[in-house]
Structure 1
Amino acid sequence: MLYTLSISSAEQKNNRKRRLFMKNKKRLQADIILIVSLLLISAIALTVILVTRKSGKYAVVTVNGQEVGKYSLSRDGEYTVGDGSNVIAIENGRVFMKYACCPDKTCQKRGKIYRSGESITCLPNRVNVQIIGNTSDGVELVS
């Protein structure tokens, strides 16, 4: 009789371990499904944003929060911004920071931008270049 009791208690321990393992396995499967679902939704949202974003028409340049110029992306050219610390260039409908005297050159590394809403920011020189879409007023070139 003692032998049967010890087998039952061993079986009970094994049953508890199995139940715990199955519970954890189901939880792991649910976590994986949740993570994959979130990644899929994020990928779809990013694709929709990138596909529906239109090319901009103008580059608006601000220094210290004050607008200093609005340049058409259809006209190629180079423009000195502020006290000469930055030079922006427009080529083939894309704008980029050609020169910056800041130490890290992050704004130059940003590359060319052309989509509405994109921007290049030079924090040390407080220069911001943002692409905007159509505006009701004409293009105003200010240097």
Structure 2
Amino acid sequence: MKVLDEHTVAMPDRTGNKIADSFRNIAENDRVGMLFFVPGMRETLRVNGRAYVTDDPGVLARMRTEAKEPDLAIVVEVEQVFFHCGRALIRSRLWDPASQALAGELPSAGEIVSDQLGVDVDPAQFEAMLEAGYRKLY
């Protein structure tokens, strides 16, 4: 996210799954709500407003990272900003390292994809593909 001015923020469209769901959603309804998490911090920041997609070179240049400039950005004209108390995160134990061990008890991403899509996917091969894709992004 980049703060463009006192009432406007922008989120770059980085390389991802190329589905563009957010763009379709914004075209149908420009109302957005964003929730920001900071690892270890219990309180979250909520930002509500109206969004639009832009390819403005001045906006995109401000979001350059590692010599990569996004093709598009979502600009949000902020109408509301407020903190949420941390009760939900405390109850969920989201930042508690002991609760993160539960992830090992869940099926892997490859197992979930195979089950949910009903296709014959080798979970290990799918996870290797995910890891290779993640390395390209970072």
TM-score normalised according to structure 2 size: 0.19
